Amino acid sequence: MTMTILRNTLKILAVCIPASGILSCAVPPTSTPDDQTSGVAEGPTRDEIVTALGGGNQQEVKPVQFAVGGTKISKEEAKSLERFISEYNNQGREISLKITGHADSKSIGGEAANQSISEDRANAVKEFLASHGIPRERMTATGVGSRDLLCRDTEVSAWQRDCCEKLNRRVEIEEELP
């Protein structure tokens, strides 16, 4: 348990503290809320998250990240998916894709809402790929709700929770080799 907490803490720190030294996530307050001016900066980028996790999944496909409760693909993620599509098409093989949507552990509607969000995220990625020429019959899209968390917010400190939850709001694409 202690090693899991340490490993997750190190992953979170690697994501939240970019090389520039500027924090990307909330820091523990050192003053009263009245003294603070700007609040929380935008969270880590997809690339920072993937780097902290040691790469993408089995074929080095980077996970697609989503905003809290969101199912729309951001411009940054669309560019990443377009690069993936180009690489996929250049392989010249008929590779099937397994698309798995995930949700964080926060939800007003509980696990049922997380399940729905994860399915919607997976379907959004599938539709994006299909609209860019990847045949639908080569793709399966499923959602797993918050059952497969990369990071549990109970294993990190309060100021790391936003970064932790961002790691969980994702869609993973796995290439299923014949």
**Domain residue ranges of the chain, discontinuous segments joined by +:** 2-24+43-176
Quickly state the pLDDT bin for 143 (edges 50, 70, 90). Answer: very high
Strand boundaries in 11-162, DSSP class E: 64-65, 96-101, 139-143
| Region 119-131 average pLDDT | 98
- Single pTM value for the model: 0.67
Percentage of the chain surpassing pLDDT 90?
A: 40
**What's the pLDDT score for residue 45?**
57
Whole-angstrom Cα distance, residue 113 to residue 146?
Answer: 10
Please compute, for residue 69, the number of CA atoms within 13 A of its CA located in the half-sphere on the CB side.
6
CATH of domain 2-24+43-176: 3.30.1330.60
Is 125 within 8 Å of 73 (Cβ atoms)? yes
| Region 65-90 average pLDDT | 93
| Region 91-99 average pLDDT | 87
User: Is the pLDDT confidence value at 117 over 50?
Assistant: yes
